[in-house]
Amino acid sequence: MTRRAPIRWLRRSEGGVMAKLEDIYPSRVKAEPEVAERRDPVVYSEWSETAPITREQTEFFRKNGYIVIENAFDANELGLLQNEGARLSSGTANLEPETAITEPGSGAVRSVFKIHKQSDIFWRLAADERLVSIAQFLLGDEVYMHQSRLNYKPGFNGKEFYWHSDFETWHVEDGMPRMRAVSMSVLLNENTPANGPTMFIPGSHERFIACVGETPEDHYKQSLKKQEYGVPDADMLAAMANETGIAMPTGPAGTVVIFDCNTMHGSNSNITPFPRSNAFLVYNAISNRLLAPFGPKKPRPDFIAAREDTSKMKPVAGRISRQAA
């Protein structure tokens, strides 16, 4: 027996009338996986000479679902970010306990969430004009921070992140209505083909893969360590990869990889001696604030999906420094 896709209700400002909001991307409600066409734009702004990225970059993002910005941050900025990233994973930082996610088995730190609220340096990174302006352009709106985290892959034992579309989880478990969010991965170490860089299936953002399996309550406690629901069907993954291939953007520290919320991505484990750590920032359009989840009744905590503070980001110009943080 399959469940019907849920309908959410929105309260209109005019007269307090309740209006139906159809779930146009139902997932985890049927016994078999399905593919649907994207029903949202990829780039919400028209390119002009004043845009923060080039016309070529804009069109590459529209077609492939990601772009790479090289040399976005200088050596001094990187030093601050790297030192702060090491501090947050060291056990000496006064972190909110639930925001530090460890690897199953080893207990090593896998991710630290809510970094823009727990670190002045990473708050300054999240607000940086070089990043915020690109998010505003791609999304055609003011933006707020939906999620921030550090992802660690230490040498020899950094674990994989399996293939997934972020939007599928953010839609089902968090109530993100539309595909109007963008992720930015700021490389804090060199990412090479060997140490587990993020891989993408180009063009996958144009299709929505509806997954199977009703989401368990408090699923996030397990999924942040190893995701088992919202995982796409292997046959569909293979078909997409055979059609367009797999891209593996790499680069030195200071590179920024920007990708659409629905781009299929994942990464291999790191068995090299060379660590990989990235600061991961998700900008959501103000007009795309979260509703009630389309799947489970209870939303995930605010440190994973912001509901309490959705005020627009105010871009900060200039280089990152400890004094400016």
| Predicted local distance difference test score (pLDDT) of residue 19 | 46
Using the predicted structure, report yes or no on whether residue 139 has a pLDDT greater than 90: yes
Consecutive H or E run containing 111: strand 109-113
| Other CB atoms within 10 Å distance of the CB of residue 225 | 15
Q: CA-CA distance, 322 to 204, in Å (whole number)?
A: 39
56 found inside a domain = yes
Confidence of residue 13 (pLDDT cuts 50, 70, 90): very low
Q: Residue 107: which domain range?
A: 27-288
Using the predicted structure, report yes or no on whether residue 137 has a pLDDT greater than 90: yes
| Predicted local distance difference test score (pLDDT) of residue 2 | 44
Identify whether the C-beta of residue 275 lies closer than 8 Å to the C-beta of residue 154.
Answer: yes
Q: CA-CA distance, 199 to 205, in Å (whole number)?
A: 13
238 found inside a domain = yes
The pLDDT mean for the chain works out to: 88
Q: Give residue-wise pLDDT tens across range 17-76.
A: 444 478 999 999 888 889 999 999 999 999 999 999 999 999 999 999 999 999 999 999
184 found inside a domain = yes
The domain that contains 217 carries what CATH number? 2.60.120.620
pLDDT (average), residues 115-124? 97
Q: Total structural domains in the chain?
A: 1
| Predicted local distance difference test score (pLDDT) of residue 156 | 79
| Predicted local distance difference test score (pLDDT) of residue 322 | 84
Which range among 116-125, 159-168, 200-209, 248-257 shows the weakest confidence by mean pLDDT? 159-168
Identify whether the C-beta of residue 150 lies closer than 8 Å to the C-beta of residue 280.
Answer: yes
Among 301, 91, 66, residue whose Cα is nearest residue 183: 66
321 found inside a domain = no
